[in-house]
Amino acid sequence: MQHFKRWLTALILIPFLLWAIIKGSILLFGALVSGVSIFAIVEYFDIICANDTGSISQPPRIIAYGACVLLGMGACLGSWPILFLILALNMMALCLFVLARFSTVPHIFDLVARQVLGVVYIPLSLALLVFIRNTDGGALWVIWLLIVCFANDTGALYVGTFKGKHKLAPKVSPNKTIEGAVGGLVISVTAGLVFNLIFFRDMPLALISIPCALCIAVAGQIGDLFESAMKRVGHIKDSGKILPGHGGMLDRIDGLLLAIPVFYFFAVFVL
């Protein structure tokens, strides 16, 4: 039943996602990225602040939600200085929070550190998707990136389920196996190569994309384990329930969050 829910959710969401990437305007895509960022960072705070008491984390949360919207929409302008300005505004708002509550909250800088990590980890990374979408052929590259990442997740899940014997990181995620990780790498690279040959029809580019897909898949698995470590500290199984069969938004995009910057590097300097 869990696998059925997983595939049903994917089949429902994929057509809308493809339409937004291919046919939607850059502003619509930026709004979509902002929405995903907000859902994900809400779950991030629920995990990272699970052991806190009271509502002291509310101001940093609200500031982070504003950063999600500004980073997603600001990326539509395709300007790194705009993103740096938004990050600076986020820090200034946090500084005002520190000055206002310094005497009453002993762990206030711990809250600030967690908020900054969340903003860099989620909305800033996702904002790079808007940069990629805004380039020549960017829609296809965004789809290629998503296919590589999701093939990595799905391949690791099913290979690990049926062939997994050796634990990959038992203290962080007991169900993940080395066989599953290798299977995910192989399937993601294969999926990226096939997509490239069909839609880009450029053999040299397809060959160059192989190490790119491999690095993306490795980054994705590290991102998956990182989120698992956060959930283990917060004693939480799933980041949320918004996506039946997948868990929360953060559960679905945890690997993507580290894969996006890796792909952006390749897109700018290699591809």
User: pLDDT tens-digit profile of 85-119?
Assistant: 999 999 999 999 999 888 777 788 999 999 999 99
Beta-carbon count within 10 A of 126 CB: 25
User: pLDDT tens-digit profile of 46-98?
Assistant: 898 876 666 667 889 999 999 999 999 999 999 999 999 999 999 999 999 99
pLDDT score of 29 more than 60: yes
* Rounded-to-integer distance, Cα 179 and Cα 164, Å: 5
pLDDT at residue 3 in the model: 58
pLDDT score of 2 more than 60: no
User: pLDDT tens-digit profile of 112-149?
Assistant: 999 999 999 999 999 999 999 998 889 999 999 999 99
